[in-house]
Structure 1
C-alpha cells in the first residue's frame, strides 16, 4: 500500500471545506420545537394572567361584600323604634331607616340630646295632621290649611296613609326640626314632608290629640307636651 507523503497531507488540510448540508428533516424538527416552545410560553402566560385577574376580582368582591355587611351591621345597630310619651298617652313609631336615613339620623341625634323633651304640639288640624315643634308658624301645614278653607273641606284622597311620621322638607337647623303625624291620607304628602316613620301603636292617642279644642290658628287651647322620647332597638 502506497504511503501518502506528509506534504500531500498538509496540502489536503489546507483545502477549504464547504459548509455541511442540513437535511429537510432537521429543519422541520427545529421549527416544530420552536413553535412548541412559543406555544407553551404563551399558554403559561395566559394561565397565570387569568389566574391573577380572577384573584383580583374575588378580592374586590370580598371587599364590597365586607363593606355591605359593615353597612348593614351599622344600620341594624341603630334604634328602629321610638316611644313618644305625651300628655295624652304613649305613641310608638317605627323608623324608615332605608328610605329616609338622613332624617332618621337627625331625629335620633336630637332624641339623644333631649331635644323633644317638653316640646309642645303647636298645631292640630283635625282630619289632617298634628304638629309638634318650636315655632308657632304653620310652616308645611299652611298650604294644606289654606286649601281646606278654599274648598270648604280638606282633601282626603287615599294616595297616602294616615299616621305617618315626618318633618318639613324646608331647610332648617336642629331647633327648627318639626314633627308631623298625619291623621288622614294626604295627597301631596311627599311634596311637603320627609316621611321617615309611621305610628304602629297609639293611634288612639294621636286621635285624642286631634280632637282637642283649637283657636282660629289651629293652636291647641290647652298645652299638650311630649314629655320624653325613648328609643328602642326592637319592640
Structure 2
C-alpha cells in the first residue's frame, strides 16, 4: 500500500489555461498515469511543455494555442490537433503515430483523459476528456490521466458544444 502511494505521488501534473472565444474560462489540471501508461503519459506531458521542438510535420510539437475541435455534450471534449486544427491532423513525439500502449484502465467515470485515434495503433496528439462514463470506449482508447482540478471549466467547455465561433483555445 505504501508503495502504490509513492507511485501516485510521482505522477506528473500538467495544465491548460482555457479560453472560450476571447474570454478566459479558467485552468484545467491533469494528473498523468505514467505508472500505467508511461509512453502515452510522456507523449502528452511533452506536448504540454513543447520541449521536443519541431515534428515531422515541421510544426511545433506543442498544444499551446490549439483548439478543442469536437465537443459533444454528455460524452466528451476532443482536442490536440495542433497541425491542422480540425481533427484530421496531429503528431506524437515518437513520430506521426504510435502503438496502443494498453487498455488497463476503464472509461468508468467523467473527467478521464484518453487518447483519440482512428483505429488500432493510430495514436498521435489528439486526446479527449470524458464528461460521463463511456464504457463502450474500453479496449479501443487508452486512458492515461484524469482531471484533478478545473472540472467546472470542463463543464463550461461542454456547455458550449462544438461551435465554430467559440472554439476553445488552449494555453499550456
User: Smaller-chain TM-score range?
Assistant: 0.5 to 0.7
| Cα distance in 1, alignment partners of residues 127 and 152 from structure 2 | 18
Answer yes or no: is the 8 Å Cα contact 1:165–1:181 preserved in 2.
yes
Q: Which residue of 1 aligns with 2:149?
A: 201
Q: Give SS of 1:166's match.
A: strand
Query: Is residue 24 of structure 2 the alignment partner of residue 80 of structure 1?
Result: no
Q: CA RMSD in A?
A: 2.9
Question: Where do 5+ consecutive residues of structure 1 fail to align?
Answer: 1-72, 140-157, 229-235
| Cα distance in 2, alignment partners of residues 98 and 159 from structure 1 | 17
Q: Which residue of 1 aligns with 2:93?
A: none
Q: Which residue of 2 aligns with 1:145?
A: none
Q: Compare the two structures and name the one with the higher strand fraction.
A: 2
- How far the C-alpha of 1:80 sits from its partner, in A, is 1.2
- How far the C-alpha of 1:168 sits from its partner, in A, is 2.4
* Alignment match of 2:64 (pick from 114, 117, 137): 117
Aligned length: 131
- How far the C-alpha of 1:159 sits from its partner, in A, is 6.7
Q: Give SS of 1:122's match.
A: strand
| Cα distance in 1, alignment partners of residues 122 and 155 from structure 2 | 28
Query: Is residue 159 of structure 2 the alignment partner of residue 211 of structure 1?
Result: yes
Query: Is residue 169 of structure 2 the alignment partner of residue 222 of structure 1?
Result: no
Identify if the C-alpha distance between structure 1 residues 112 and 98 changes in structure 2 by more than 3 Å, giving closer, same or farther: same
* Alignment match of 2:42 (pick from 102, 105, 110): 105
| Cα distance in 1, alignment partners of residues 29 and 68 from structure 2 | 16
Query: Is residue 109 of structure 2 the alignment partner of residue 161 of structure 1?
Result: yes
Instruction: Find the structure with the greater CA-based Rg.
Output: 1
Q: So what's the TM-score if we normalise by structure 2?
A: 0.65
Q: So what's the TM-score if we normalise by structure 1?
A: 0.49
Question: Where do 5+ consecutive residues of structure 2 fail to align?
Answer: 1-5, 20-24, 51-60, 90-105
- How far the C-alpha of 1:183 sits from its partner, in A, is 0.4
| Cα distance in 2, alignment partners of residues 185 and 79 from structure 1 | 23
